[in-house]
Amino acid sequence: MDLHQIKPGSKVKLDDLPTRADHDILKADGKAQLAVLATQLADLQELLYAEHKQKVLIVLQGMDTSGKDSTIRHVFGDVNPQGTKVHSFKVPTQQELDHDYLWRVHKNTPGKGEIAIFNRSHYEDVLVVRVHGLMPKSVWKKRYDQINAFEKLLVEEGTTILKFCLHISKEEQAERFLARLDRPTKHWKFNPGDLEEREYWDDYMEAYQDMINRTSTDWAPWTVVPSDQKWYRNLVVAAAIVGQLEDLEMNFPKEVPDIEKYRSILEEMVAKES
């Protein structure tokens, strides 16, 4: 996590950040580590749910094909769906447009004992809104400070926030689009409009860079995850989440008073019914 986390106040250039693993780790070893982390995450999620005191929000942002869906599937595949919720933020509905842009986000933040995963998020309002000129600059420019204040409120109310920007190269994106066309079972995921969005690549990179620099805070820093290699992307995200959950120092609730008395009662029931 420390390797790819953006320190608050620093100014990064996305072009200078790797899209592939920049150290010697074998794919087989990475996948083996991920399997261990997935088991640890499942245990920690059960503990979080049982303790029912703390809340965790995970934000996934990235260009098309960066692997937001796949990351959720591989990292959270072993967790109990009870207590884990995934929210995908598409084009706002008319009801959502009738409210402030954070309204639809706030109502989907996690409750006590829950992990909420945002597949895209409130950051769309400083990304696609900016790139396509859906709002004037005077409007979207204020949203960086508004989002920082919103996230600080969540943290002060007991939410731990982990934000991941899945960073891929333009070349890798093209290969993944082509792979979708090569596999009939993936045709449904291909949208011709995605190719039109590629024309805005440089604009998106500038918007993502500003997003990271303006909203990587002490209370909710960004982690920019090299995502050209799917296995490494999953490993970085899983390791960061497990490490953060371990730092929460959670405990199972106190056992029921007189538990041995109830054990004796149940043992007698089992003996009579066997």
**What are the residue ranges spanned by the domains of the chain?**
14-273
pLDDT digits (tens, 9 = 90+) for 159-180: 999 999 999 999 999 999 999 8
Residue 1 pLDDT? 57
Mean pLDDT, rounded, of the chain: 94
* Mean pLDDT, residues 21-43 taken together: 92
Full 3-state SS string of the chain: CCCCECCCCCCCCHHHCCCCCCCCCCHHHHHHHHHHHHHHHHHHHHHHHHHCCCEEEEEEEECCCCCHHHHHHHHCCCCCCCCEEEEECCCCCHHHHCCCCCHHHHCCCCCCCCEEEEECCHHHHHCHHHHCCCCCHHHHCCHHHHHHHHHHHHHHCCEEEEEEEEECCHHHHHHHHHHHHHCHHHHHHCCHHHHHHHCCHHHHHHHHHHHHHHHCCCCCCEEEEECCCHHHHHHHHHHHHHHHHHHCCCCCCCCCCCHHHHHHHHHHHHHHHC
Enter the pTM of the model.
0.91
State the Cα–Cα distance between residues 53 and 51, nearest whole angstrom.
6
Residue 62 pLDDT? 97
| Better-predicted residue by pLDDT, 263 or 47 | 47
> Which residues pair with residue 166 across a beta bridge?
62, 225
| End-to-end Cα separation, the chain, in angstroms | 53
pLDDT digits (tens, 9 = 90+) for 89-104: 989 999 999 999 999 9
Residue 38 pLDDT? 95
Assigned CATH for 14-273: 3.40.50.300
* Mean pLDDT, residues 102-120 taken together: 97
Residue 59 pLDDT? 98
Answer yes or no: are the C-beta atoms of 114 and 55 closer than 8 Å: yes
* Mean pLDDT, residues 149-166 taken together: 98
State the Cα–Cα distance between residues 72 and 230, nearest whole angstrom.
12
Contacts of 126 (CB under 8 A, 6+ apart): 140, 143, 144, 147, 207, 210, 211
pLDDT digits (tens, 9 = 90+) for 48-103: 999 999 999 999 999 999 999 999 999 999 998 889 999 999 899 999 999 999 99
State the Cα–Cα distance between residues 85 and 101, nearest whole angstrom.
21
pLDDT at residue 2 above 80?
Answer: no
